[in-house]
Amino acid sequence: MTQVALDGERVRLREWSMDDIGAVQLYASDPEVVRFMPWGPNSPAETREFLEKALAAAREPVRTEFEFAVTFRGEEVAIGGAGIRARGVHRRADIGYALRRDVWGRGLATEVAALLGEFGFGALGMHRIEATCDPENRASARVLEKAGMRLEGRMRGHMPVRGVWRDSLLYAVLEEERRPEAT
């Protein structure tokens, strides 16, 4: 695939560039933004490494990972990041997202999650799309539910976050359940 861009009503998901390093560092170094993430707060070197890996994945002849800058439509400055990763031959993918704190509470994450789902089921031909979140992250759980995903269960000791094993809530949607009106 070549350059990918996904347009929603208010946001655009586009490929990263090294010019985005300052915008990534802004949200990726914010302790509140990364509170429930298995990464961060990022140092400038970690942010550079993330962008380099995302750009390398975008150059792969057969892509399985798509990392996007999230922008407001019509603007170039990244307000966050989002990604979808195809896993194995079973037509399954997982999604994730992080937005700057100053844009929280506007429904943008729900729009981002829905765009990732549409892309996964459409262009990537996935059968199942999954996401996880920390059980204490009620805002992210609501985003996933509003994007049409169902809570499937709690995975105990699923992910190490800053040296502590945490549980994760598993959400998923199947291609026959998808709701295009979720945004």
Mean pLDDT of the residues in the chain? 94
Q: Give the tens place of pLDDT for each residue, 52-88.
A: 999 999 999 999 999 999 999 999 999 999 999 998 7
Q: Rounded to 5 degrees, what angle do the CA atoms 155, 161, 162 make?
A: 160
Place 89 in a pLDDT band, splitting at 50, 70 and 90: confident
Question: 74-79: which pairs have CB atoms within 8 A and are 24 or more residues apart?
Answer: 74/12, 77/23, 78/16, 78/20, 78/23, 78/24, 79/11, 79/23, 79/27, 79/103, 79/108
pLDDT value at 121 more than 50 = yes
Q: Which two tokens stand for residue 100?
A: 């700057």
Q: Give the tens place of pLDDT for each residue, 22-39.
A: 999 999 999 999 999 999
Place 41 in a pLDDT band, splitting at 50, 70 and 90: very high
Kindly list the distances between the CA atom of residue 55 and the CA atoms of 16, 42, 68, 125, in Å, as whole numbers in the listed order: 7, 18, 10, 23
What integer pLDDT is reported at residue 36 of this predicted model? 94
pLDDT value at 100 more than 70 = yes
pLDDT value at 182 more than 70 = no
What integer pLDDT is reported at residue 180 of this predicted model? 54
3-state secondary structure of 180: helix
Q: Give the count of domains, the chain.
A: 1
pLDDT value at 178 more than 80 = no
Model pTM score: 0.93
The percent of residues above 70 in pLDDT, for the chain, comes to: 97
Question: 82-91: which pairs have CB atoms within 8 A and are 24 or more residues apart?
Answer: 82/13, 82/112, 82/113, 82/115, 82/116, 83/54, 83/116, 84/116, 84/119, 84/120, 84/124, 84/129, 86/120, 86/124, 86/126, 90/127, 90/128, 91/125, 91/126, 91/127, 91/128
Rounded to whole angstroms, the Cα distance separating 162 from 68 reads 24
CATH number where 29 lies: 3.40.630.30
pLDDT value at 50 more than 90 = yes
Q: List strands edge to edge, sheet with 78-87.
A: 5-7, 11-15, 65-72, 78-87, 92-99, 128-133, 164-174, 150-161
What integer pLDDT is reported at residue 183 of this predicted model? 40
Range of the domain at 85: 5-182
Q: What is the mean pLDDT of residues 147-167?
A: 95
